[in-house]
Structure 1
Amino acid sequence: MSKFLVLNGPNLNLLGKREPEIYGDMTLTDIRERLRKRAAEAGVEIEFFQSNHEGALVDAVQNAEGSTEFILLNAAAFTHYSIALRDAIAAVSVPVIEIHLSNIHRREKFRHTSVIAPVVMGQVAGFGAESYLGALEIALMKLGAMKEAVR
């Protein structure tokens, strides 16, 4: 069975409470359940991890090598300055899709730059919780294409 890893960075454990006018009112648990349901329908195992600690996310990316087909990553604030996370993504062969609840390009100037963008497959941003579902659907399509290419 194929496996996807959903990684969430700092403060995402506060979703639903933290600035709902920007991030919406869904909790991370709500998002997890929606993704889990869709992944099960597609026959994909999905694992979730959230940490406020940069090194824990770096470890999770590194540990995904060889056991995970896709990483769906909302690096949150680490998006804008974590060279360590960027280098971990670049070091593994697992494709990564970057996720943002808000449109980082319409926010404060310091949020416009993603240091991880150059080493990920692509970015889904600005659709609230639907950004996660969009990233999952893209990963499912890419996984199907990868399996077809192997045949």
Structure 2
Amino acid sequence: MKILIINGPNINFLGIREKDIYGEMTYDNLCTYLYKEAKKINIDIDIVQSNVEGEIIDYIQDAYKKYDGIIINPAAYTHYSIAIYDALKAVNIKTIEVHISNIHQREEYRKISVTAPACIGQICGMGVYGYTLSMMALKRIVK
């Protein structure tokens, strides 16, 4: 099984930005953690990050027929990117949306996800463990 993990804007600043919300783990440490977790459950992963909406769409489109699943943290694009929603629908790859923080306990505008309806599920508020949960779920769901 091969999964693409896509991280959106400012995720590359983990460990720097709002540590009270996102924790101390740096982005590089997150990637190292995810590769180790994937290996434990016998999944191949690739990880990408972009602060640019169009690049995220390119990653999604490039995943077509190459990946069995996608895990996406669209970050701020969660709340307004119909283009990312459309790309996820277009490729028809089982996708789980992940958020490190609990978006439902934050500002009102963060409680709305326009991208989640293109996904089979959403995991939020579990910290970086949400990515691991998503990998485990996709391994069971995707046949």
TM-score band by shorter chain is: over 0.9
TM-superposed CA distance for 1:42, in Å, is: 2.6
The whole-number CA distance in structure 2 between the counterparts of 1:78 and 1:53 is 10
Residue 79 of structure 1 corresponds to: 78
Given that residues 117 and 123 in structure 1 are in contact (C-alpha distance below 8 angstroms), is that contact kept between their aligned partners in structure 2? yes
Runs (5+) with no aligned partner, structure 2:
none
CA distance in 1, matches of 2:33, 2:141: 20
TM-score (norm 1): 0.91
Give the Cα separation in 1 of the matches to 2:139 and 2:32.
17
Q: Determine the structure 2 residue equivalent to 1:100.
A: 99
Q: Provide the rounded CA distance (Å) in 2 between the counterparts of 1:19 and 1:35.
A: 21
Q: What do the CA deviations read for 1:111-134 (whole angstroms, capped 9, x no partner)?
A: 010001111010000011111111
Following superposition, the deviation at residue 41 of structure 1 comes to 2.5
The alignment-based identity, stated in percent, is 43
Q: Distance in 2 between matches of 1:141 and 1:35?
A: 18
After superposition, where does 1:127-142 map in structure 2 within 5 Å? 127-142=126-141
**Matches for 1:1-151 after TM superposition, within 5 Å:** 2-143=1-142, 146=143
Q: Which amino acid aligns with 2:90?
A: A
Flag the structure with larger Rg: 1
- How many residues align structurally? 143
Q: Distance in 1 between matches of 2:138 and 2:30?
A: 16
How far residue 139 of structure 1 moved from its aligned partner, in angstroms, is 1.4
What secondary structure sits across from 1:21 in the alignment? helix
Q: Please, which runs of 5 or more residues in structure 1 have no aligned partner?
A: 147-151
Give the letter aligned to residue 118 of structure 1: P
Q: Distance in 2 between matches of 1:137 and 1:45?
A: 12
Deviation of residue 142 (structure 1)?
1.6
Q: CA RMSD in A?
A: 0.9
Structure-2 separation of matches of 1:70 and 1:94:
6
The alignment partner of 1:66 has SS state of coil
Question: 2: CA distance between counterparts of 1:131 and 1:44?
Answer: 16
Distance 2:137 2:41 in 1: 12
What is residue 149 of structure 1 aligned with on the other side?
A: none
Code of the residue aligned with 1:131 in structure 2: it is G
Query: What is the rounded CA distance, in whole Å, between the counterparts of 1:132 and 1:31 in structure 2?
Result: 10
